[in-house]
Amino acid sequence: MTHVLVTGGAGFIGTHVVATLREAGHRVTVVDAGHPGAHRGPLPDTVAGAPVIRLDLRDRPAVADVLADVDAVVHQAAMVGLGVDLDDLPEYVGCNDLGTAVLLAGMARAGVHRLVLASSMVVYGEGAYTCPEHGAVSAAPRIVADLAAGRFEPACPVCGTEVRPGLIAEDAPLDPRSVYAATKVAQEHLTAAWARQTGGCVVALRYHNVYGPGMPRDTPYSGVAAIFRSALEAGRAPRVFEDGGQRRDFVHVRDVAAANLAALDATGTNTGWRAYNIASGRPATVGQMAAELARAAGGPAPVVTGEFRLGDVRHVVASPSRAGTELGFRATVDLADGIAEFAYAPLRG
């Protein structure tokens, strides 16, 4: 039996990860800061039978205490989303990067050499694109003038021609385009340096758009599925930004929890640092997802608004083949089935 420390274990994804680890027979210690970006109410006393310890990862002595007798860490704790504005920047860096640095230093001192990192597809920025003339290209950041005029598709940085989206793989260059994305890239780099210096093993899971029971309700840090669901619950039509044609890979939280279990197993036999796309391999547009959710909930049809947010990217769709080959992970929840469940599943208050 492995003793696993799960950071952020009382959060949306963390609770499912803890339950899956416990079902697999692991001993689990849960820590969570209770950050208001993820928790509107008090922390629970337990998650899936595991006691919850309130702890900010920036607290070095407290981190040192909880790492005693731990065999591996599954690091879910992070501020997510685009936030409110740049006033959030210090908190993102503090929670995500300083917190990770303190955790890694504590793990090195305690001799804990196994880490599963919750990373994100946001590290890629835009996804993979092909120009009819110039082949594979990295799309330039979209500009306000184009977005305001309803020109949402990225253009070739060489000739300006509209480019075609494709699948992005784990060896693609990292190109963060938001504060949150920059902190996730920093987490990846910090953990890679830690693995090299300690001889430890890190499995970084680049989550795509995770949805499912227990998502936090509509906040500036919520995922789009929760925002749409909150609108429908209030009898309002979901408001779909841009033209609704943004492509994403919506992956169910139970599949994400299963990926964490597979990654934990991999840390017991490997060394070094390796990243994996955790996705379904069955992409959909944001507009399609909103329409499917509205139908399942029996609510009003989505409204496509043309609004946009700087920092959002147009298309991010990845190949999950490496995770399938090396971790044995394959998503099992079909989007239609997952959305039908999510339409009535409890959300976090």
Supply the pLDDT for residue 82. Answer: 64
**pLDDT category of residue 83 using cuts at 50, 70 and 90:** low
* pLDDT surpassing 80 at residue 37: no
Supply the pLDDT for residue 238. Answer: 95
Q: What are the structure tokens assigned to 167, written together?
A: 């699948």
317-330: pLDDT as tens digits: 999 999 999 999 99
Alpha helices in the chain (DSSP H): 12-23, 60-66, 89-92, 99-110, 144-148, 179-198, 224-233, 253-267, 286-297, 321-322, 335-342
Supply the pLDDT for residue 66. Answer: 98
Supply the pLDDT for residue 256. Answer: 98
Domains of the chain (ranges; CATH) run 3-127+168-342 (3.40.50.720)
Q: What are the structure tokens assigned to 16, written together?
A: 């499912």
pTM equals 0.94
Answer yes or no: are the C-beta atoms of 164 and 129 closer than 8 Å: yes
**pLDDT category of residue 100 using cuts at 50, 70 and 90:** very high
Picking from 87, 275, 75, the residue whose alpha carbon sits closest to that of residue 179 is 87
Q: Which position has the higher pLDDT, 20 or 85? A: 20
Q: Environment class of residue 309 by beta-carbon count within 10 Å: exposed (0-12), middle (13-18) or buried (19+)?
A: exposed
CA distances from 48 to 10, 14, 74, 90 (A): 10, 11, 16, 33
- Beta strand 46-47 with 128-131: parallel, antiparallel or unpaired? unpaired
- Concatenate the DSSP letters of all residues of 302-336 into one string: PEE-----BTB-SB--B--HHIIIII-------HH
